[in-house]
């Protein structure tokens, strides 16, 4: 029997950053100001990431698309150590945060340097995410109706019992009609397709598959989690403007190429952390009780496929006394 000495689980360190971001953003739930909520989360996440014993480089961030405060692409964070690439979204679902709707999370994914897909100037991509039992059955080259038939067969239930996560966007009108004609159910959400991808792979969420076009940064973040959970995922760049299409073509990207999970995340040595900001299908949001705040986080380690759920109680008086973050 071969043995490998234990190594550091960076997901536990990353969780401190997603917890801090969630606590900072939670002050803005329902206030209608997604920029300020995002800014508070970014500042909190940056502060905590700089305490982690690694040399982290942000390769996937949100600011370029949303024109929001950001941990910018190429930014170096950490206190020194192993070199990793980071995909970050301090608030996934800024609109959900601003409107006080379910499903906003703070999320970070880490992988060895150079192993995460770089979408370049591509902001949007078509995605298909399924649970482990269906990862050999589904493919983006098939129609939604064909995929639903194959997914249902793999999961051992009729199509009418499938629930599909789809972002509620005008671009998905035809997709929504085809899913309904196939007989499957749909959960329409305005934002949050990292959470949607996780819901499709985790058991007990009521979601069986994610379909449709969403952000490429969210796609790369989701790929780290999906691979760690043993699920299936494919992605194809799907520009939503002529400028985006032109930039992709001139950067050498093939718009008809379907990227599999191993191309999106080329390593099993990954770490993932997500903390709920508002209640969602698999994580509770930040809750205040007296002088305490309660958070719930999901941690994944790709090398061992370990999944942890962590509930933490934060004494706000103590945090405010020692931290530069305005919780």
What are the tens digits of pLDDT across the range 40-91? 999 999 999 999 999 999 998 755 444 545 788 888 999 999 999 999 999 9
CA pseudo-torsion sign 223, 43, 287, 318: positive
Query: Distance between CA atoms of 186 and 201, rounded to whole angstroms?
Result: 16
| C-beta of residue 219 within 8 angstroms of C-beta of residue 118 | no
pLDDT of residue 68: 47
Q: Is 193 annotated as a binding residue?
A: yes
| C-beta of residue 286 within 8 angstroms of C-beta of residue 293 | yes
* The two three-digit tokens of residue 153, written as one number: 């067969």
Q: Is 38 annotated as a binding residue?
A: yes
Sorting pLDDT into bands at 50, 70 and 90, what band is 150? very high
Q: Is 149 annotated as a binding residue?
A: no
Q: Write down all domains in the chain, each with its CATH number in brackets.
A: 10-114+269-321 (3.30.540.10), 124-264 (3.40.190.90)
Q: Is the per-residue pLDDT at 122 higher than 50?
A: yes
Q: Is 269 annotated as a binding residue?
A: no
pLDDT of residue 65: 44
Q: Is 56 annotated as a binding residue?
A: no
Between 62 and 103, the higher pLDDT residue = 103
Q: Is 169 annotated as a binding residue?
A: yes
Average pLDDT, the chain: 93
Query: Distance between CA atoms of 151 and 90, rounded to whole angstroms?
Result: 32
- Longest Cα–Cα distance in the chain: 57
pLDDT of residue 69: 56
Q: Is 62 annotated as a binding residue?
A: yes
Q: Is 238 annotated as a binding residue?
A: no
| C-beta of residue 319 within 8 angstroms of C-beta of residue 327 | yes
pLDDT (tens digit per residue) in 199-242: 999 999 999 999 999 999 999 999 999 999 999 999 999 999 99
Query: Distance between CA atoms of 173 and 181, rounded to whole angstroms?
Result: 12
CA pseudo-torsion sign 58, 287, 199, 308: positive
End-to-end CA distance of the chain: 49
pLDDT (tens digit per residue) in 24-43: 999 999 999 989 999 999 99
Q: Is 170 annotated as a binding residue?
A: yes
């Amino acid at each position: 029997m071969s043995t490998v000495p234990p190594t550091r689980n960076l997901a536990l360190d990353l969780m401190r950053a997603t917890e801090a971001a969630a606590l900072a953003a939670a002050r803005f739930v329902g206030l209608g100001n997604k920029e300020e909520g995002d800014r508070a989360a970014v500042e909190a996440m940056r502060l905590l990431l700089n305490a982690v014993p690694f040399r982290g480089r942000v390769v996937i961030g949100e600011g370029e698309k949303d024109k929001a405060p950001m941990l910018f692409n190429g930014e170096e964070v950490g206190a020194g150590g192993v070199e990793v690439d980071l995909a970050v979204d301090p608030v996934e679902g800024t609109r959900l945060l601003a409107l006080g709707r379910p499903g906003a999370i703070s999320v970070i994914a880490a992988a060895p340097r150079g192993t995460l897909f770089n979408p370049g100037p591509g902001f949007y991509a078509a995605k298909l995410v399924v649970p482990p039992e269906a990862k050999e059955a589904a493919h983006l080259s098939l129609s939604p109706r064909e995929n639903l038939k194959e997914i249902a067969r793999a999961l051992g239930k009729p199509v009418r019992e499938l629930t599909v996560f789809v972002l509620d966007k005008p671009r998905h009108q035809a997709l929504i009609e085809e899913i309904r004609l196939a007989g499957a159910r749909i959960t329409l959400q305005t934002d949050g397709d990292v959470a949607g991808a996780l819901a499709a792979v985790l058991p007990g969420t009521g979601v069986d598959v994610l379909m449709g076009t969403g952000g490429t940064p969210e796609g790369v973040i989701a790929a780290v989690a999906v691979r760690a959970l043993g699920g299936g995922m494919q992605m194809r760049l799907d520009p939503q403007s002529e400028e985006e299409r032109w930039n992709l073509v001139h950067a050498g990207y093939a718009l008809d190429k379907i990227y599999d999970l191993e191309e999106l995340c080329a390593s099993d040595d990954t770490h993932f952390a997500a903390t709920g900001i508002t209640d969602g299908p698999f994580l509770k949001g930040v809750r205040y009780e007296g002088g305490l705040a309660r958070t719930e986080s999901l941690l994944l380690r790709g090398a061992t496929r370990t999944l942890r759920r962590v509930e933490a109680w934060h004494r706000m008086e103590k945090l405010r006394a020692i931290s530069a973050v305005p919780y």
